[in-house]
Chains A and B, each alone.
Chain A
Amino acid sequence: MAKKYGMIHDNNLCIGCQACSVACRSENKIPESVYRLQVWVNGPTEYPNGTLGYEYHRQSCVQCENTPCVSVCPTKASHVNEEGIVLVDVDLCVGCLYCIAACPYQARYVHPVTKAPDKCTFCHESRLSRGEEPACVTVCPTDALVFGDLNDPKSKINQVRSERVTYRQKEKLGTSPKMFIVPNHKGGINS
């Protein structure tokens, strides 16, 4: 069966250290003014029950299965490859930027050099082809990121998904992201 790559970001394990975002910058030679990935640390935030906590929001492409960005693309520059990864073919891109507007996750940016939209590709170009995991996953100090083939029942990602409760961002939109989030079950501590 074809591969279907996905990722888990575990909010319990994430410490907001930005190792992932910096490794992504390094691996993918991301120019200074833009980024494919950041982890936004919100907190200390107060929960309704009066306790405190931190929330870690991974801001990157969530690799939708129903891709608004691809549907609006007039030239097929934005496409999904056979491994389920959403990619941009720079040569086909005419720069209309519809995909940037269509992405409900604000995951795309205009690459200052190619002038074409760019975003997280699960490091498809470099690392996956060499059989390595995405750069962000390889550095994460606390193993908050888990990557793998959702079509492989024995993969680590499926194992972890069966053990931990996950949700996806903006599930209501029906985009079916392949980025799964483990919510912060701590729910904070009395201040």
Chain B
Amino acid sequence: MTQMLSRRSFLKLSSAAAAVASLSSIPGTLGALEESQKQLKGNAKYTPSICEMCTSACTIEAKVEEGKGVFIKGNPADKSRGGKICARGSSGFNQLYDPQRLVKPIMRVGERGEGKWKVVSWDEAYTFIANKLEEIKQKHGAHTVAFTARSGWNKTWFHNLAQAYGSHNLFGHEATCPLAYDMAMDDIFENGISRDFGKAKYIINMGHNVFEGIVISYARQYMDMLAHGGKVVTLEPRFSAMAAKSTEWHAIKPGHDIAFVLAFINVLINENLYNKKFVEKYCEGFEELKASVAEYTPEKMATECDIPADTIKRLAREFAKAAPKAIFDFGHRCGFTPQELELRRAMMMCNVLVGAVEQEGGYYLNKGAGFYNKFLGEGDAKAPGLKKPKIPAYPKIAVPRIDRIGEKDNEFFLAGKGAGIVTLIPKATLEDLPGVPYRLHGWFIARNNPVMTQSNMETVIKAIKAMDLVVVFDIQVSDTAWYADIVLPDTTYLERDEEFTASGSKNPGYGVGRQKVVEPVGESRPGWRVAKELGEKMGLGDYFPYKDIEDYRLQQVGDNVELLAKLKATGSASFGVPLLLQDKKSVAEFVKKYPSAASKVNEEGTINFPEKIRLFSHKLEEVSKKGALSYEPYKYKEADELYFVNGKSAVRTNGHNGNNLWLNNLCDDAGVWIHPKTAERLGIKQGDKVEVYNKYSTQKGKANVTKGVREDTIFAYFGFGHVSKELKRAYGKGVNSNALYASFVSPNSGMNLHVVGVKVRKA
């Protein structure tokens, strides 16, 4: 049993959880206010909106039933998700009612992390924060306060506030998750890319577990391609649900994915399996790539990654044969390594080499309004772009950011300024960073939980304790809020409207963002309102030139009321017809609709790539001699240690929904996976309490003895072992994987490191 509890333990557990849930030791929570008993005021019809239980942001519809429950389902208008939703999504309304949810601002009265709080009014909270920020500005400069907010969550509002205040230290959560592959796309394609999993015939998957870290559209596409006889090869140190559905599973050595990919490229090139025509016409840097992988023969790399040379060769041949309906998945989370950027670039290059780009069943460039409009001649309808309200110029800042993005020759130049290298914040607080003439003194964190989600929890907490001000805006007293000075109650996604979103797929798409299903519970307030009100308190009202979110949205669509109406009613809209540049049929259809695009069509009936695809990066070469691909062995563990890796669970994801009643009841300790031989050697049996430990932390969990993990590896799901005592259901249960990892910022990508050495003993 991996995720599910037996009926008996389920009963036992949930009655205990229910007992705990009714206590409310903390002021400002919903349980303390008895407001949970009230009838919900909200929309009795289905309102299209977007889920916020994880970052996949699935399209949903939700309604209030008889003033009591909220039923959430997938938005049937969204074809890619088929109107479906996962367990987390269905559990959304648990957040709304949760007695442990914070609904009033609270201020720390004891030591940081002591758990002593008092309730304050919003006005007191704003005054406190405004004064503290002013104090820091006077003493150290506004730039010494870092602002972290997640995209599509609160970034728009709090990054605006940050810059108005005078800080350019803006961050998202990206460096703890997708940043490296976002950077790799920019480096290679000068554009975002997606994968057409559904139509592929052959997929190589390195630890991208779409069936547990569920992305519904991906899960559906994978099932579809498998049902049509497609093959999936999964390389991952443990046997995940993904591996189980795959055609083949290979238990690759943790942290050594890049060794495999380099050998794979070596085979593609040396055996002439690559698409010469495509490479010559559309790529640059092939010769450099060829030279750089020449030494990485399958024989040499086999011993590194623990995949036989013959297997590497066979997979490369099969992959090339299936092209262009082939995908070397550039992945999502897997064991993050010090060579994160090189790894993702190498994965993407496999697809480029076989020419499986802008084709059905391969990769395609994300076509937002800007990209799409390039192909529409004068007079043809242009894809609508969303506008932004006009905001006055922000104050100029003379010193660099802590990650020095924006400086010439900066190693992280590929990271967007809104993403930043959030993993550097603890370092920039505790140490002097080269070229950064200051340390951080404050951290404003909107719905992000770095204590839980960044590697090496101990260092993150130490940094927080060293700061003059830590503000957290969240729906609960998260692990990070636990150490904050002041915690402001955010609304859940069912209680707020948000800005419209624009995206690019095969053609431009637009989303309604989140829409209010019920009125905010207690005194919770949405991000746009908090940022605006706090800004006004600080005398920065000019930077918020909109009355409310409705006004903001109106300014976004300009006079395009048609788009506005469509978005509100259906949740999403798309523009024009899909376009795949290398697919003759798709190009012909595009030209039929937009005749003026005919001038772009080449003699083969396709459209040339707008930019050369880069197999060698001159810019990376310049900043850190990493233009080519290379293998840099890294010592993750001592000889007497085991590798430790983590992964996503289907019911609990990320740092923020572990305390959800239903989800927690389904899975409160996902266990520590140990190979039977390793377990026997250590005298550990199935279900034993074990300690996983290294120099960074000691974590307790239950042993899951299984052949589904390598003998030299320990696996645990992440998002367990919460440290905030206010997350009463999730507190202390299971292994907190990020506590075990080293505090490490990967060169060029700024990513965390998710492979480390550990030992295991019976607890």
Taking beta carbons and an 8 Å cutoff, which residues of A are in contact with B?
12-13, 15-19, 21-23, 25-27, 29, 32-35, 38-44, 46, 52-54, 59, 106, 138-143, 186, 188-191
Contacts and interface: CB of A to CB of B under 8 A. Distances in A.
Contacts of B82: 141, 143
Contacts of A15: 211-212, 214, 219, 241, 245, 650
B18 interface: yes
A139 B3 CA distance: 19
B2 interface: yes
Contact of B650 (A17, A33, A190): A17
A129 B86 CA distance: 25
Contacts of B651: 17-18
Contacts of A138: 73-74, 83-84
B431 interface: no
Contacts of A190: 249
Contact of B708 (A43, A140, A141, A143): A43
B128 interface: no
Interface in B1-21: 1-4, 6-7, 10-11, 14-15, 17-18
Contacts of B693: none
B239 interface: yes
B169 interface: no
A17 B220 CA distance: 13
A188 B651 CA distance: 23
Contacts of B1: 40-42
B355 to A, nearest CB: 30
B223 interface: yes
Given A26-B93, A191-B707, A143 B223 contact: yes
Given A16-B4, A44-B706, A189-B246, A21 B87 contact: yes
A118 to B, nearest CB: 15
Given A15-B212, A15-B245, A44-B244, 20 more contacts: A17-B214, A19-B87, A22-B90, A23-B90, A29-B68, A32-B14, A32-B661, A41-B3, A41-B4, A43-B2, A43-B708, A139-B84, A139-B89, A141-B214, A143-B84, A143-B220, A189-B244, A189-B248, A190-B249, A191-B239
Contacts of A141: 81-82, 84-86, 214, 216, 219-220
A139 B239 contact: no
B91 interface: yes
A22 B71 contact: no
A150 B707 CA distance: 41
A38 B667 CA distance: 12
Tell me if B's interface is mostly helix, strand, loop or mixed.
mixed
Nearest to A132: B73
A33 B7 contact: no
Nearest to B3: A41
A32 B662 CA distance: 8
Contact of B7 (A53, A59, A143): A59
Given A16-B4, A142-B219, A142-B220, A53 B244 contact: yes
Contacts of A32: 14-15, 17-18, 661, 665
B747 interface: no
A9 to B, nearest CB: 15
A34 B14 CA distance: 9
B239 A44 contact: yes
Nearest to B215: A141
Interface in B84-130: 84-87, 89-91, 93
Contacts of B3: 16, 18, 41
B67 interface: no
B356 interface: no
B666 interface: yes
A105 to B, nearest CB: 12
Contacts of B665: 32
A27 B14 CA distance: 19
Interface string B426-451: 00000000000000000000000000
Contacts of B90: 19, 22-23, 25-26, 139
How many B residues touch the partner, as a band?
35 or more
A16 B211 CA distance: 9
Nearest to A18: B87
Contacts of B85: 19, 23, 139, 141
A29 B90 CA distance: 13
Contacts of A186: 244-245
CB-based closest 5 A-B pairs: A44-B708, A18-B87, A22-B90, A15-B211, A17-B650
Contacts of B243: 189
Interface string B376-391: 0000000000000000
B244 A39 contact: no
A43 B244 contact: yes
B531 interface: no
A135 B437 CA distance: 58
A27 B662 CA distance: 13
A183 to B, nearest CB: 14
Given A32-B18, A33-B14, A39-B4, A139 B74 contact: yes
Interface string B656-684: 00000111011000000000000000000
A112 to B, nearest CB: 10
B69 interface: yes
A151 to B, nearest CB: 26
A33 B662 contact: no
Contact of B73 (A16, A21, A44, A139): A139
Contacts of A21: 87, 666
B728 to A, nearest CB: 14
B72 interface: yes
Contacts of B661: 32
B707 to A, nearest CB: 5
A26 B71 contact: yes
Contacts of B216: 141
22 contacts: A15-B241, A16-B4, A17-B214, A18-B87, A19-B85, A22-B87, A22-B666, A23-B85, A26-B69, A26-B90, A29-B68, A32-B15, A34-B11, A35-B10, A44-B708, A59-B7, A139-B73, A141-B214, A141-B216, A142-B219, A191-B239, A191-B249
A95 to B, nearest CB: 19
Given A21-B666, A41-B1, A139-B84, A54 B241 contact: yes
A58 to B, nearest CB: 11
Nearest to B661: A32
A46 B707 contact: yes
A8 B418 CA distance: 47
Contacts of A34: 11
A80 to B, nearest CB: 25
Contacts of B72: 26
A44 B223 contact: no
Contacts of A54: 2, 241, 244
B249 A189 contact: yes
A129 to B, nearest CB: 14
Contacts of B248: 189
Contacts of B15: 32-33
A21 B665 CA distance: 12
Which interface residue of B81, B216, B239, B244 has the most chain A CB atoms within 10 A?
A: B244
Contacts of A13: 223
A142 B650 CA distance: 13
Nearest to A43: B2
A12 B226 CA distance: 10
